[in-house]
């Protein structure tokens, strides 16, 4: 029986990668993609303590599966308390989401699983309960259409930094395949036995 040499194995690998490339192109998997509103003059809202109310109204510019708020904990570790996020849509349907403050990290987005629909207006009310330490939310002067931010009822000239997530076809696997193929081709070129 004829032995398979290493070049033949590499050829097989190349063929498998090529097939996978075509497969990835035809049947891409879905992946979350985040989109963050443009930030202008990044600032913070000030110390947010228990019973403070932050209200943000905005119109969703697209369909999204999650949205995130940009939070900071003043580098503190929060062990107690909850963040309560009430989302009200145009039809006055309200959903309340409770997040343990211990899950919130300093200078990070916290994403909430809530589907937003394109061109619909939403009202988010954020409060905190049972926390011994304050948190804050980042704001931007770059306001989107009909966005309005209130801090304990007081209108602000900025809006919360919001990030949104949607699903998209994921084609990056093809990049990996192309890179692997290029390296394999380089190997095959360099290991080709000379005719002499």
Partner 1 sequence: MKEKKHIKYLLIALVISISITVLCEVFFNRKVLTKNEFYQADIIETNDIKKDGSWYETTSDEAYVIVKLKDTYINKLYYKYKTENDFNWESEIEEEIIGHNATPLINKVTRKIDRTTDSLELKINFNKKNVKFKDISIDNQIYINWSRVVVVFATLMGLAIIIRYRKYFLEHLDKAFLFIALLSGIIMINITPKTVYYSWDDQIHFRRANTFLSSETATVPSTMTTVINKNTRQSGYFQTQEEQQAYYDTLNKMQKEDGWEEYDVNNYSAKYNNIVYLPFQIGFRISEILNLNCTTSVVLAKLLNFICYTLLMFFAIKVSTKLKRVVFVISLFASNIFLASQFSYDPTIIGSMILATSLFFRMLEDKKLNKKYLFTFVACVIWASLPKAIYSPMLLLLLFIPNKKFDNKKQAILFKSITIIILLLLLSTFVLPALSGSLSGDPRGGDTSVNGQLKFILSNPINYAKIVIKYLLNSGPELVLGEWTIICLAYMNINVEMINSLIYIVNLILLMYCLFKENISKDIINNKLKTVFAIIYGGIMLLIITALYLSFTPVGSNSIEGVQVRYFIPMLLLGLLILIPTSKKIIKEEKNTNTWILIIPFISIMLTNFFIVYNGIGI
Residues 75 and 107: their CA atoms lie apart, in Å, by 8
Which is nearer to partner 1, 20 or 110 (by Cβ)?
Answer: 110
Residues 67-126 that bind partner 1 (CB under 8 A): 68, 73, 75-77, 102-103, 105-106, 109-111
Residue 101 near residue 8, CB atoms below 8 Å: no
Of 6-14, 40-48, 90-98, 152-160, the segment contacting partner 1 by CB under 8 A is 40-48
Per DSSP bridges, beta strands 136-140 and 43-44 are: antiparallel
Residues 166-185 that bind partner 1 (CB under 8 A): 172, 175-176, 178-179, 182-183, 185
Strand extents, DSSP E, 1-157: 29-36, 43-44, 54-59, 64-72, 82-88, 94-100, 108-116, 121-129, 136-140, 148-151, 154-156
Instruction: By CB under 8 A, tell whether 31 contacts partner 1.
Output: yes
Report the residue from 12, 132, 148, 169 that binds partner 1 according to the rule CB under 8 A. Answer: 132
Residue located via tokens 């061109």: 119
Q: Which residues bind partner 1 (CB under 8 A)?
A: 31-34, 36, 38-42, 66, 68, 73, 75-77, 102-103, 105-106, 109-111, 132-133, 138, 165, 172, 175-176, 178-179, 182-183, 185-187, 189-192, 194
């Amino acid at each position: 029986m004829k032995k398979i040499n290493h070049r033949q194995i590499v050829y097989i690998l190349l063929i498998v990668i090529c097939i996978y490339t075509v497969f990835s192109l035809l049947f891409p998997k879905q992946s979350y993609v985040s989109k963050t509103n443009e930030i202008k003059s990044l600032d913070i809202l000030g110390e947010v303590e228990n019973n403070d109310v932050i209200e943000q109204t905005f119109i969703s510019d697209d369909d999204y599966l999650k949205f995130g708020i940009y939070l900071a904990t003043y580098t503190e570790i929060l062990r107690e308390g909850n963040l309560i996020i009430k989302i009200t849509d145009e039809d006055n349907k309200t959903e309340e989401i409770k997040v343990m403050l211990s899950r919130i990290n300093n200078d990070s987005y916290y994403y909430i699983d809530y589907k937003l629909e394109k061109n619909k207006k939403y009202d988010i009310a954020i409060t905190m309960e049972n926390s011994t330490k304050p948190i804050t939310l980042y704001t931007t002067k770059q306001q989107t259409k009909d966005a309005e931010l209130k801090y304990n009822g007081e209108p602000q000239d900025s809006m919360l930094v919001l990030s949104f997530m949607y699903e998209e076809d994921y084609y990056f696997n093809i990049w990996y395949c192309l890179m692997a193929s290029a390296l394999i081709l380089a190997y095959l070129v360099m290991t080709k036995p000379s005719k002499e």
